[in-house]
Chains A and B, each alone.
Chain A
Amino acid sequence: MRQRFARFAKFSALLIVVLIGGLTAAPQAYSQAPRTVTIAHPGPIYTMDSPVTWFGSTHWLTMLMGDCLLWRGPDLKGYVPMLAEKWENTAPDRWRFTIRRGATFHNGEPINAETIKWNIDRVRTRRDFMVNPQWQFIKDTVAVNETTLEVITDGPKPYTEFDISFNGCNVLPPRYIAQVGEREFARRPIGSGPFRLVEIREGERYVFEAWDGYWGGRPRGVDRIVYQVIPDQATQVAALLSGQVDLVPNVGVTDVGRVRSAPNLKLIAGSSGNHHNLILRTANYYGDMSKHYPNYLPVTVKKDVRQAISAALDRRVLAKVQGFATPSLARVTCEYSDVPRNFCGDKAAAEEFNPGRARRLLERAGYSATNKPTVFFDTSNFQIGNEKEVAEAIKAQLEEVGFVVNLNVMDLASYNTTVTRTGRNRDLSLVPLGGSPSLVPLFYRCEWPRNSFYHACDRSWQQVGNAILKEMDAKKRGELWAKWWSFFRDQAGTLPLYEIQRQYGMTQRIDWKPRADGWITPREITVR
């Protein structure tokens, strides 16, 4: 018995020594160098060859190490030069870019007009690249000389600057790619941006270091940026609270209090670039709804009913239920100058909210207290916000004006595969959507794919949308936008509710201002 006890005691002592050793050694594993910023990234990151992927969060990384020709200003009010020193619209379908002299890739490979031509041609011709459709508006590129590139578009394209500074815009090194091959490049890329990728643990950790050879000079605010992939939001916050990361891009509503009360942390609000939209079915011929619900005719095919729904919703309340959001009637962020001011904010929401008008519209559509319209409403339980709670608030608001609402809350994967991706949605569905002025008119035209979960075909509206995408004169385009938005509001097929805000949690030792479009490209981050 004594022998057994002695053995047990030895084993326990050994275990305790190992544990104590491990625990006391642990903090060194994640101690921070003074000018290093660690950012939690939700993942996944599959490739560093930026045109291959559609994922915005991958572009957060590629934008650190790769310059574009030009870049959208952080407030979305204009463009800033990158590898193009200047540019001009020489004809309605021609843009001339003057390429910066002396810029090179991280390996010394020079950047000239031919390099940019190779990059644009690659992304616009490679059909297997996810971002390829965005670049098909470019018909041709001509390297006029070492520093001059002409881009020829298929007709007048007022949003050329926007489109060439979007997904897939990073200029990549042709010679290096030819040397190592595309597959290897995707794993071990180099770029022309202010940060070099110096360490990679694929899908887990990406370390970038400030580069002395950058044409704009070495970044002054920070020496090293680490992207640490942490998929779980609660773990991200725990890592922030314990000092293992410096920036968490989206602190959940339930964690905001804890982050706010932590002494060394701060919260900064910024746009996510996403809106919650209530999608109303405008006809039964698109998607595969009719296959699954034969002979079902949603009440929302009547415009009066759709407008009644819009008038019944108090977006200010819904924004509060969401947690952090700004009421909006527009499908894109209100920071864009193309969005009328009267579509944005509490005032716009207050003007739209009119339960009396909602009841009158329902009466006009043939409904009454004894003949209430029934709507089937699908939503996911959680995606980027409190979808379930918001949907319940919408249900209550609609029932208040006389709707009968059958709410169906689903797991996100089921919701995506059975509702949104197949267009099986009936009357209502709640969907977060992003967008930009150069894209949104494309979504509301008769040629929009019929398998979508929303569709609008109004020839007059479509004409306005097409005209917007060709009008080079900013003032005239502004007038067209005003018309476009009145169609959008009148059709009431997509009801934006609010713009979702992110709560960025960060340590007090860093300074950083979020962009208005929700992209996290922390080139300007500064460590105090």
Chain B
Amino acid sequence: MSTYILNRLAQAVIVALIVSVVVFLLVRLKGDPIELIAPPEFTQEQIQGLRVAWGLDKPLNVQYAVFLSRAVKGDFGDSMRSKRPAIEFVLDKLPFTFLLAGVSAILALLISVPLGVLSAVRRGSFIDLFSTSAATVGAAMPNFWIGLMLILFFSVNLRLLPAFGSESWQTILMPALTLSLGVAARLARMTRSAMLEVLGQDYIRTGRAKGLADRLVIYRHALKNAAIPVITAFGLQLGFLLSGSVVVEQVFAWPGLGRLMIEAIGTRDIAIIQAGVLWFSMTVLAINLVVDVVYTLVDPRIRYA
């Protein structure tokens, strides 16, 4: 078990290094960052002065070495727009994104798993038809559109929920619902198909033949075995929840990391972009690691493989 986790950790470190190189190069691929942010009346001398001040006059390999050596200590440099440490901005916003993604994940699970199980158990019924149609529609609708429709309905027409911000607990309802619908739709479909496959297995028929209660057959034997592909999908969807939050945070003015990233990209603040993308990536890596560990708990075959 510990070897398995250590292997996964080693892989995560390699992936993190690759991500750091990609992020570092991508923000520079767009051109000289100073040329991109300097106000129009800056002369070439002034631009060069800024380049030296921000260490961007050095060769790329030297810049990367400096970046990496500082990044491992949590120092991503100062934001060019505010002259404050980029990590301060990222750490300020990260809890909001985690909160939004967490609530969305719980909502998605609460919607999708019962719907998927019910749909599989009552295959061909009205509930099945309803849930598969809803899942298709949910998966097809873009986040920002769902968000705007919810705002129009709940904020403008009914005047029940705030359209923006994070000041009260009500503010998270619409962004979380928006973010969770797509994920719930995909998970519901996945749960349904996994359940259908398991429900057709011999041991389920045996269990039923032995007179086990439906509830036991479905929840103890079928759902547990159907959970592995669902956990895989859920792990992947958690990454989607984080990346999807970029759009949702923008629509609902939710002060999270996604919105910070959009602003930083718009203002070409490379320190914040680098810090934000790396934190996003690290989070996704951590989630994948946790999902891998959960596999081993659910399915001993993986542990001993």
Contact = CB atoms under 8 A, between A and B. Distances in A.
A27 B36 contact: no
Determine the interface band of chain A, counting residues with CB < 8 A from chain B: 35 or more
Interface stretch (A94-102, A224-232, A468-476): A224-232
A201 interface: yes
B92 interface: yes
A52 B83 contact: yes
Determine the interface band of chain B, counting residues with CB < 8 A from chain A: 35 or more
Interface string B171-193: 10100000000000000000000
Contacts of B220: none
A421 B31 contact: yes
A413 interface: yes
A451 B35 contact: yes
Ordered nearest first, which 4 A-B pairs have the shortest CB separation? A46-B82, A44-B263, A47-B82, A29-B168
Interface stretch (B41-49, B127-135, B196-204, B230-238): B41-49
A449 interface: yes
A417 to B, nearest CB: 5
B163 A242 contact: yes
A286 to B, nearest CB: 13
Given A26-B161, A26-B168, A29-B168, 8 more contacts: A29-B167, A43-B263, A46-B269, A128-B83, A203-B263, A239-B163, A242-B155, A449-B43
A46 B81 contact: yes
A519 interface: no
A404 to B, nearest CB: 30
Contacts of B164: 228, 230, 235, 239, 244
A22 interface: yes
Nearest to B85: A183
B133 to A, nearest CB: 22
B84 A23 contact: no
Contacts of A133: 39, 41-43, 46
B24 interface: no
A55 to B, nearest CB: 8
Contact of A443 (B40, B170, B171, B260): B40
B36 A417 contact: yes
B196 to A, nearest CB: 21
Interface stretch (B62-70, B245-253, B282-290, B292-300): B245-253
A231 B155 contact: no
B35 A421 contact: yes
A186 B255 contact: no
Contact of B163 (A54, A204, A238): A238
B83 A205 contact: no
B159 A29 contact: no
Nearest to A182: B83
Contacts of A416: 36
Contacts of A447: 43
A89 interface: no
A439 interface: yes
Contacts of B82: 46-47, 52-53, 186
Nearest to B214: A1
6 contacts: A26-B162, A44-B81, A55-B267, A133-B39, A203-B92, A235-B163
B121 to A, nearest CB: 12
A5 interface: no
